[in-house]
Amino acid sequence: MGRTALVVGGGIGGLAAAIGLRRAGWEVAVVERSPVLADVGGGISLHANGVRALDALGVGEAIRAAARPQYSGGTRTPAGDWLIRMDGAAIERASGVPVFGVRWAELHRVLRAALPAGCLRVGAEVMSVERGGTAPARVSLASGAELEADLVVVADGVHSRLRGLLFPHHPGPAYSGSTVLRAVTEHPVTLTGDLELTWGKGAEFGHITFPDGRAEWHAVIKSPPGVRHADTLAALRRRFAGWHEPIPALLDATRPDAVLHHDIHELATPLPTFAVGPIALLGDAAHAMTPNLGQGAGQALEDATVLAAALATEPTVDAALARYDAERRPRTRTLVRAARQAGRAGHQLTHPTAITLRNTALRLTPSRLTVRAFLRHTNWTPPSLG
């Protein structure tokens, strides 16, 4: 089996794949098109499956040190009434792992630190890839340079250029019907819950907390694509006027230039395979999903772990990628569909009767069933990397 790999994309999934491949004995290079790795972005919640994948990759303890367990919170109405209470201790007892809140920049920093100097090359935009047949795959950069590798991992995100080249007849990412605005507060904020969501008519507001007392908040709004505002914070204050605290406090604790705004796209049409010759697709490039389950990063981390384990144990690259595809495609397809359904039942509801029926059903759901539902998609055990 070949032993050189090129990872296209230096995000969470790409770096995790590089770490896993190195642990499996591969020589790895990562190319990232962004010229500067700015430590920006919001935060993510890491569930049991993501934490276990990080443990398998050997960086779990470093992530725990940079993250904060989320023990309290739940889902509320705009008036502040509780629909679901989050029992973080019960989740930890059931799964053995708490839910963690971590800044994207911290997670990225920890993953970068696990790779040797020079492994990650920034400002290197990939334009095309040739499958290679019996020869190594060949990757062409915008600079004119060409790189060869026995394995290419495509981890260049939801708008992946290489996915479009590998699957020219696939429709590509579709707009989900929602847009997301998010930021990390400039200073600590007094909060009553670690991880909260609030569902209103056509909108959701949520937050997670970090070890330093600051918080990441997000606002998901049902909206046509491309809508932007001259004063984003003012627009958010109008949209969420009258919603309960700490929503106004979170907005007040945010610098205007810290707000990120992205329309949400997903791969609503599944790919026919995650492997084409010696090329594997991973993370959002393979199965971009809406954020309603908080599983985007978790699934990329699972991908990286399964890919590394398959390459560590199978006799050929072809056999390893066939196993990777067989293990990952059914699971991620289920989660893409479940995330979409969660959004439709959550922030995308606008009819008052539908909202009332949903809220009533949630209030009547026993706590044990809430915990079971929370863990339904996170009860995953990583394979051994050898």
Does 285 fall in a domain?
yes
| 3-class secondary structure per residue, the chain | CCCEEEEECCCHHHHHHHHHHHHCCCEEEEEECCCCCCCCCCEEEECHHHHHHHHHCCCHHHHHHHCEECCCEEEECCCCCEEEECCHHHHHHHHCCCCEEEEHHHHHHHHHHCCCCCCEEECCCEEEEECCCCCCEEEEECCCCEEEECEEEECCCCCCHHHHHHCCCCCCCEEEEEEEEEEECCCCCCCCCCEEEEEECCEEEEEEECCCCCEEEEEEEECCCCCCCCCHHHHHHHHCCCCCCCHHHHHHCCCHHHCEEEEEEECCCCCCCCEECCEEECCHHHHCCCHHHCCHHHHHHHHHHHHHHHHHHCCCHHHHHHHHHHHHHHHHHHHHHHHHHHHHHCCCCCCHHHHHHHHHHHHHCCHHHHHHHHHCCCCCCCCCCC
Question: What local confidence, expressed as pLDDT, does residue 36 receive?
Answer: 78
The percentage of residues in the chain with a pLDDT greater than 90, rounded to a whole number, is 92
* Residue 374, pLDDT score: 85
Residue 273 sits in a domain whose CATH number is: 3.50.50.60
The per-residue pLDDT for 385 is 84
Mean pLDDT confidence for 166-179? 98
pLDDT of amino acid 1: 58
Beta strand pairing call for 82-85 and 73-76: antiparallel
For residue 161, the cross-strand partners are none
**Among 111-115, 179-183, 212-216, 381-385, which is the least confidently predicted range?**
381-385
pTM as predicted = 0.96
> How many residues comprise the chain?
386
Among 280, 284, 247, 286, residue whose Cα is nearest residue 264: 284
Using CA atoms, how far apart are residues 8 and 121, in angstroms rounded to an integer?
10
Amino acid at 358: R
**78: pLDDT strictly greater than 90:** yes
Q: How far apart are CA 66 and CA 107, in angstroms?
A: 8
Domain count, the chain: 1
Q: What is the pLDDT of residues 80-106, one digit of tens each?
A: 999 999 999 999 999 999 999 999 999
Please report whether residue 9 resides in a domain. Answer: yes
Q: Quick check: is 80 in a domain? A: no
Reported confidence tier of residue 41, pLDDT bands at 50, 70, 90: low
Which of the two residues, 95 and 2, has the higher pLDDT score? 95
Placement of tokens 């009332």 in the chain: 356
Contact by Cβ (8 Å): 72, 194: yes
**Beta-bridge partner residues of 219:** 181, 205
Instruction: Report the mean per-residue pLDDT for the chain.
Output: 95
**Residue 211 maps to a domain:** no
Q: How many CA atoms lie within 13 A of 24 on its CB side?
A: 32
Provide, rounded to the nearest whole percent, the portion of the chain with pLDDT above 70: 97
Task: List the domain range (segments joined by +) for residue 140.
Answer: 4-69+98-173+267-344
Residue 362 domain flag:
no
Within a domain: 314: yes
Say if 102 falls within a structural domain. Answer: yes
Asked whether residue 157 is assigned to any structural domain, the reply reads: yes
Query: Is a pLDDT exceeding 90 seen at residue 110?
Result: yes
